[in-house]
């Protein structure tokens, strides 16, 4: 099923937090965004609507699991969700904690920067990541959102 040349078929796409049969959760290294995660579907599918209804439910349960953990652990100003895939048409959801101090807020992360990011704020979030990521992984291991 892997498509030669697809970076999400051939590589993890970030630091792996959880890996299951249907999807994995990774942390992306996006400068100035210390809580930028992705839910990457394992199979090479371009569009969300190409998944079966059951797989769509599994996929969004994973997205919601990450979103809830970000809200609980980080109290971000807002959560941003997006499945774009213009560059890499392999289904992946961006799940991003946004803060009113981040470089683009309230613009999307893909807009030009508005300000410098205070490095101590980034460090504060980074310090919370181990607990956050342990929570995400534990929830997905203990209550896997795919049919038994």
DSSP-derived pairing of the beta strands 23-27 and 92-98? unpaired
Residue 108 touching its own copies (CB under 8 A): yes
Tell which positions 33-92 bind its own copies, by CB under 8 A.
Answer: 46-49, 56-57, 60, 63-64, 67-68, 71, 77-87, 89
Closest approach of its own copies to the CB of residue 9, in Å: 17
Whole-angstrom distance between the N-terminal and C-terminal Cα of the chain?
22
Closest approach of its own copies to the CB of residue 83, in Å: 4
Tell which positions 118-147 bind its own copies, by CB under 8 A.
Answer: none
With a CB cutoff of 8 Å and minimum separation 6, the contacts of 128 are 73, 74
72 or 127, CB closer to its own copies?
72
Report d(CA 116, CA 122) in Å as an integer: 11
Report d(CA 49, CA 45) in Å as an integer: 9
Note whether 80 and 94 are within 8 A (CB): yes
Contacting its own copies (CB under 8 A), which of 112, 120, 143, 148?
Answer: 112
Note whether 125 and 34 are within 8 A (CB): yes
Residue 117 touching its own copies (CB under 8 A): no
* Interacting residues toward its own copies by CB under 8 A: 46-49, 56-57, 60, 63-64, 67-68, 71, 77-87, 89, 98, 105-108, 110-112
């Amino acid at each position: 099923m892997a498509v030669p040349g697809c970076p999400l078929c051939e590589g993890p796409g970030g630091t792996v937090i959880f890996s299951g049969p249907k999807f994995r959760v990774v942390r992306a290294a996006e400068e100035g965004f210390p809580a930028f995660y992705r839910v990457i579907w394992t199979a090479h599918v371009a569009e969300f609507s190409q998944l079966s209804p059951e797989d769509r439910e599994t996929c969004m349960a994973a997205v919601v699991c990450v979103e809830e953990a970000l809200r609980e652990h980080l109290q971000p100003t807002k959560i941003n969700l997006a499945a774009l895939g213009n560059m890499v048409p392999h289904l992946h959801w961006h799940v991003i904690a946004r803060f009113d101090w981040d470089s683009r807020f309230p613009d999307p992360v893909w807009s030009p920067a508005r300000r410098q990011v205070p490095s101590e704020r980034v460090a504060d979030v980074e310090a919370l990541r181990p607990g956050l990521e342990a929570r995400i992984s534990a929830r997905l291991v203990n209550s896997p959102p795919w049919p038994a």
